Chains A and B, each alone.
Chain A
Amino acid sequence: MSGSAVADFKPFSRTQMAQRVANDIPEGWYVNLGIGIPTAVADHVPLDREVIFHSENGVLGMGPAPAKDKIEPWLINAGKQYVTLRAGGSICHHADSFSMIRGGHLDLCVLGAFQVADNGDIANWATSENDTAPAVGGAMDLAAGAKRLWVLMEHTTKDGSPKLVTKCTYPLTAPRAVKRVYTNLATIDVTERGFVVLDMAPGLTFENLQAQTEAKLHLPA
């Protein structure tokens, strides 16, 4: 890619990325948000749109973070941050909580990722086959169990390497699981044809987006 190919465009900010995902979540869905950028999605779903957030540690119906003087020390989320319960919220034990995930009851899970391949493979838990202490947590359960998996991540690594690839080189979290990817450059569906671009950051050309993506991109049919 030559320098001149990088035309003037404005990547989506983290807030815009979270907003973009939140806009696509309809009322009534049960949703699990992964640790990291995905957690911020909840801040952009208005409270009067009843979306029910689930946390792996047995919390269903999570509300926003508490005010400092209103912390309930027995109520945390999977990222071990203090949270609140909405009216109608409930608590269950870990096996029931993961039954919600593994039994296909969650409408949506949003995870971060290291790599997503154009067949829907996701790698998000280890960056080598011999990680010193790999930590998988609930990622494999969520990726295999939720009705749909969306990924929210930067389009490339910090050094510019593509994260949307033809084949994941990192250990897989689940094969053929991702349905849609939201990045700082574009929103991309994973389809039978591969990656289909739904929208792009303002000013970004399709050619430029392709140059920052290893797998072939398609325009909607």
Chain B
Amino acid sequence: MINKIVQSMADAMADIKDGSTVLLAGFGAVGQPNVLIDGLIEQGAKNLTVACNNAGTGHIGLARLMELGRVSKIVCSFPRSSDPVVFETLYRAGKIELEIVPQGTLAERMRAAGAGVPAFFTATGVGTKMAVGKEHREIDGRTYILENALQGDLGLVEAWEADRWGNLTYRLAGRNFNPIVAMASKLTVVQTQHVRELGALDPDHIVTPGIFVDRVLHVPYGDPSGF
């Protein structure tokens, strides 16, 4: 019997190695796997490369992981937030590497990784400093730059519902990066608000099929709050 539901955070975070590339879903506080990020903090892996739309807020979650010196590089589109003090302090001190990526390119790099596409051409960033050092190609009269896929060793996801095969649904704007982080990561770990019986989720409503999911932890924390 396939059962991807794990019973403890220790099981959810087992075998995560130093030096891993970690993809974090979430946009603002919505659909962000905060409890799993706390689990990663507990687990202790270091020298991480983290890809996430934002670079953490306050002193919790991703910001806490960075503050503890566990993140050597962050890949993101928007390192500002309501309280980006941890990131800015580390960045000014030269203690964290930043790769700034246009948001759509970040999302597409993840989807490409999940789809087995190693790189793709895009018009986004052409003629800007994002294009410096990248391969340019003219196709049908328009210039594009080459962007590489971004695969995660680990992907952390927040779902609304999950079953034991790892099929997932999401709630409203909580979907955001979650489905593409799931497909782009070698090990995808999910926290879910609700666990459903196998067969209870309408096949037409499953957004992430279980093939993209490895471990599911039941975390019924309620509504997101604070950005």
Residues of A within 8 A of B (CB): 56-59, 72-76, 80, 85, 91-95, 97-98, 101-102, 129, 132-141, 144-145, 171-176
Contact = CB atoms under 8 A, between A and B. Distances in A.
A3 B30 CA distance: 52
18 contacts: A56-B104, A58-B176, A59-B172, A73-B30, A74-B31, A75-B172, A93-B179, A93-B207, A95-B110, A98-B104, A101-B104, A132-B88, A132-B92, A134-B79, A138-B77, A140-B102, A141-B105, A172-B127
A57 B79 contact: no
B125 A140 contact: yes
Nearest to A85: B172
B125 A171 contact: no
Contacts of A173: 128
A98 B227 CA distance: 22
A120 to B, nearest CB: 11
Interface in B99-120: 100-105, 107-108, 110-111
Interface in B54-90: 55, 77-80, 84, 87-88
In the A-B complex, the 9 residue pairs with the smallest Cβ-Cβ separation, listed nearest first, are A98-B104, A141-B104, A175-B127, A74-B172, A73-B223, A95-B111, A138-B103, A94-B107, A140-B102
Contacts of B98: 133
A140 B84 CA distance: 22
B159 to A, nearest CB: 12
B94 to A, nearest CB: 12
Contacts of B196: none
Contacts of A92: 175
Interface of B: 27-28, 30-31, 55, 77-80, 84, 87-88, 91-92, 98, 100-105, 107-108, 110-111, 122-130, 170-180, 207, 223-225, 227
Contacts of B80: 133, 135
Contact of B128 (A72, A94, A97, A172): A172
Contacts of B207: 93
Q: Please report whether the interface of chain A is mostly helix, strand, loop or mixed according to DSSP.
A: loop
Contact of B77 (A74, A85, A91, A136): A136
Q: Which of A94, A98, A138, A144 has the most CB of B within 10 A?
A: A94
A93 B87 contact: no
B224 A73 contact: yes
A141 B102 contact: yes
Contacts of A174: 126-128
Given A98-B108, A133-B84, A135-B77, A93 B175 contact: yes
Given A94-B177, A137-B103, 4 more contacts: A74-B172, A133-B55, A140-B102, A145-B124
Contacts of A129: 129
A94 B180 contact: yes
A95 B111 CA distance: 7
Contacts of B100: 134-136
A163 B22 CA distance: 40
B125 A144 contact: yes
Contact of A93 (B105, B176, B224): B176
B227 A80 contact: yes
B173 A98 contact: no
A111 B130 CA distance: 19
A72 B173 CA distance: 10
Given A98-B108, A133-B88, A175 B126 contact: yes
A171 B129 contact: yes
A57 B173 CA distance: 7
A140 B78 CA distance: 12
A101 B106 CA distance: 14
Contacts of B225: 73
A82 to B, nearest CB: 10
Nearest to B25: A94
Q: Which of B100, B173, B207 has the most CB of A within 10 A?
A: B173
A98 B30 contact: no
Contacts of B103: 56, 94, 98, 136-138, 141
